[in-house]
Chains A and B, each alone.
Chain A
Amino acid sequence: MFPNPQLQSAPASPEALAVPQVSGAVALLQGLVAEGVDTIFGYPGGAIIPIYDALYDFQEQLNHVLVRHEQGGIHAAQGYARASGRVGVVFATSGPGATNLVTGLADAQIDSTPLVCITGQVFAHLLGTDAFQETDILNITTPVTKWNHQITDARDIPAALAKAFYIARSGRPGPVLLDITKNAQLQLFEHAGYEPCTHIRSYRPRPVVRPEYVQRAAELINQAQRPLVLWGQGVLLGSAEAEFREFIEKSGIPAAWTILGAGALPTGHPLNVGMLGMHGNYGPNVLTNECDVLIAIGMRFDDRVTGRLDKYARQAQIIHLDIDPTEIDKNVTATVPVWGDCKETLPLLTQLVAARQHPAWRQRFRDHDAEEVAAVIQDELFPTQDELTMGEVIHQLNQLTQGEAIIVTDVGQHQMVACRYARLNHPRLSITSGGLGTMGFALPAAIGAKYGAPHRTVVAVIGDGGIQMTIQELGTIMQTGIEVKILLLNNQFLGMVRQWQELFHERRYSAVEIASPDYVTVANGYGIAARRVEHRPDLQPALRQLLSHPGSFLLEVRVTRENNIFPMVPQGCGVGEIRLK
């Protein structure tokens, strides 16, 4: 290392010598340790070398996972955050390193995942000169971060880092990016010690709960004959699973989930009536348009959930519990908004609601379930045809994992099947890219999830399209020896796009047939055990092998090529128009 002479600080005065002189890079790592960070996902480069240099001395405290692409790094950090409930941390260099984070930032922003990304930047005196590997990463990432900030002076590092963690994890969580110029990483300064941030004048993450709104919500619920709860990830982000369960069990209200809310109430709970949305369950979708009071908890009425808004729950009075005021009235106007952290608001509501059972109303969900089983689920989980279906693979996986494994999914048909049929006994067992629908998410996110929850089995369910987007992360598995179970569902198509082309574009299959490498050979090339199956008798033994193999394993299952995911709310239709076929 050749330190730039201009950057060395002036000789310290005798009294100042009492305070230790550290570099910006060291101060940053000390701050990460103070925040309780144990794992960092990253990729080095010229503009962040000083931080990596300092990392050399922090190997005892900070485990750095060298990924194969920065997108893999940030998805891994997302998986880590979602599995552990902690803040994920990513390092990347300037320019291309930083721009490779953009997809993951957008994904984390829309799915409210707490991340702190540290990017290196060129020397401050070069900013704005099109220097080597300089990009204006602050402006590039502004729309996809909760907050971002550039640091050009080492003395600002501790406070900015503290602020970054506070913003990332408080209120509605989200990704934060700190861009640190190389001179600031190298600069020595007198570091008085790291202080966590607990207050920002202009930032109020915890809304003050207004009891009169809770009161009005409870009145509506107590008068309701056909109430329905829709819950989303807000319940998990607020760690309010227990409070949520108490509310549901006392009020006896059937509850349905968005894919990001999956697992907040166990799949087998008698009041859990299934998945919402385009490929959700029949009952909750149809009955959304028949309930009299709709109670939305920590969910944001995404268009994949609501279908056409002008045909959405017009008959219902709507109660919306959310920590983020911009979600209230954004898509669906609330009769009663309950603005606040649901960990705080739910117990208040539970106190005021009457204990009820709603037997007749709940029976209607069971009737619709029976219809859906007969029309769709029976054939999907217990097919009579020769070829394997995605549904039966997930069903058999469930039988082996017993609802105790983390299921990480990519994006496409397999995602919808896995989310619909996966059994989850606990919160934080389902990790998927919801709002952005990012293909290539699952493999790196599964790696991160295993770091975030080492005691759990982590199964990544991925399509043949998605795995080829970040397949290089097999290299990360190889190098770290981390244990990830990869269940590759190969239908030889970009299946979900093919389904749309079949249903809505007269089967004009345009660019959806995708060739695959020999995955077993590829995995073996990375030193990862692998197997391929295509016949029913081999499926269960192969799944057992996948799960029991010591270390990572890739199982490729050849499934029916042209299978469609039903039920489906076709785009442009209301949720009541959900089709079983």
Chain B
Amino acid sequence: MSKQEYNITAYTENQVGLLNRLAIIFSRRKINIESLNTSPSEIEGIHRFNIVVHESEEVVRKIARQMEKQVEVLKVYFNPNEEVIWQEMALYKVPTDVIAERALVERLLREHGARVVLIRKDYTVFETTGHREETDKLLAVLHPYGLIEFVRSARIAIIKTSQGFHHKLREFERQQPGEEVSENEFLDRRDKVFSM
């Protein structure tokens, strides 16, 4: 079965030790995690993991089920790249003198959609956000100017067709009622908040 990049999105309780429990699911099967990000979600108290792996659909489906089986995991989705909007952020540190002297900073910024985060006498920090190829481009351009440090973040992704998780959660709660769940108040007034 052919492998490709999958974006695994997991909604979880915010619980110590869960990261380890999830990581074990991958390491047991000798699957390398390409990228991992965890952050709060739109629902209070619920965290969201974005995990990227290069695997076949069958393997990813099995992993997703095993993740969902963990007590603290509410729901897991997996999508190939075309089904998500995804971004990574990169920071670049270069010597200020070289960059000021030899490169046209402004052109760099415009052509690569970069932003200056900090300018000091000794170095300057740029930032770009985008897909891997985009952030890589600026990296290649800056290399000759004595790149001092480079860092790229984990991927974050939003599923294109998703209604967000609060619908699903409400459905769960209807089937098996529990305590009240507090959701992001803006989500219930979405039309007002997001209408252009």
A203 to B66, CA, bound (A): 13
Which segment of B111-119, B124-132, B139-147, B174-182 sits at the interface?
B174-182
A295 to B66, CA, bound (A): 23
Residues B65 and A202 in contact, CB atoms below 8 Å apart: no
Residues B12 and A326 in contact, CB atoms below 8 Å apart: no
Tell which of A202, A325, A330 touches B13, judged by Cβ atoms closer than 8 Å.
A202
A482 sits at the interface (CB 8 A): no
Residues B178 and A142 in contact, CB atoms below 8 Å apart: no
Residues B72 and A208 in contact, CB atoms below 8 Å apart: no
Mark out the residues of chain B between 24 and 38 whose CB falls within 8 Å of any chain A CB in the assembled complex. 24, 28
Residues of B close to A200: CB separation below 8 A: 71, 178
A330 to B24, CA, bound (A): 17
**From residue A397, how far is it (CB to closest CB) to chain B in Å?**
40
**From residue A135, how far is it (CB to closest CB) to chain B in Å?**
15
A208 to B69, CA, bound (A): 15
**From residue A180, how far is it (CB to closest CB) to chain B in Å?**
15
Residues A142 and B20 in contact, CB atoms below 8 Å apart: yes
A147 sits at the interface (CB 8 A): yes
Q: Which residue of B has the minimal Cβ distance to A176?
A: B71
Known contacts A199-B176, A202-B13; A330 and B73 CB within 8 A of each other: no
A102 sits at the interface (CB 8 A): no
Mark out the residues of chain B between 123 and 164 whose CB falls within 8 Å of any chain A CB in the assembled complex. none
Residues B65 and A148 in contact, CB atoms below 8 Å apart: no
Residues A167 and B71 in contact, CB atoms below 8 Å apart: yes
A554 to B176, CA, bound (A): 51
Q: Which residue of B has the minimal Cβ distance to A206?
A: B176
**From residue A333, how far is it (CB to closest CB) to chain B in Å?**
9
A199 to B66, CA, bound (A): 20
Q: Which residue of A has the minimal Cβ distance to B61?
A: A329
Q: Which residue of B has the minimal Cβ distance to A167?
A: B71
A354 sits at the interface (CB 8 A): no
Residues of A close to B21: CB separation below 8 A: 142
Residues B177 and A199 in contact, CB atoms below 8 Å apart: yes
Residues B178 and A199 in contact, CB atoms below 8 Å apart: yes
Tell which of A139, A147, A201 touches B179, judged by Cβ atoms closer than 8 Å.
A201
A167 to B13, CA, bound (A): 15
A286 sits at the interface (CB 8 A): no
Residues A201 and B74 in contact, CB atoms below 8 Å apart: yes
Listed residue (A139, A146, A148, A204) with the most chain B CB atoms within 10 angstroms of its CB: A204
Known contacts A143-B24, A143-B28, A326-B66; A204 and B17 CB within 8 A of each other: no
A533 sits at the interface (CB 8 A): no
Residues of A close to B74: CB separation below 8 A: 201-202
Tell which of A139, A204, A206 touches B172, judged by Cβ atoms closer than 8 Å.
A204
Q: Which residue of B has the minimal Cβ distance to A163?
A: B71
A167 to B69, CA, bound (A): 12
A206 to B176, CA, bound (A): 10
B3 sits at the interface (CB 8 A): no
Residues B71 and A326 in contact, CB atoms below 8 Å apart: no
A143 to B27, CA, bound (A): 11
Mark out the residues of chain A between 138 and 172 whose CB falls within 8 Å of any chain B CB in the assembled complex. 138-139, 142-143, 146-150, 167
Residues of A within 8 A of B (CB): 138-139, 142-143, 146-150, 167, 199-204, 206, 208, 324-326, 329-330
User: Ordered nearest first, which 5 A-B pairs have the shortest CB separation?
Assistant: A199-B178, A202-B74, A326-B65, A147-B71, A203-B71
A-B contact pairs, 27 of them (CB 8 A): A139-B17, A139-B20, A142-B20, A142-B21, A142-B24, A143-B24, A146-B71, A148-B17, A200-B178, A201-B74, A201-B172, A201-B173, A201-B178, A202-B12, A202-B13, A202-B72, A203-B71, A204-B172, A204-B176, A206-B176, A208-B175, A325-B68, A326-B62, A326-B65, A326-B66, A329-B61, A329-B62
Given A201-B179, A203-B71, A330-B62, 4 other A-B residues pairs in contact with their CB atoms under 8 A: A142-B20, A203-B72, A208-B175, A326-B65
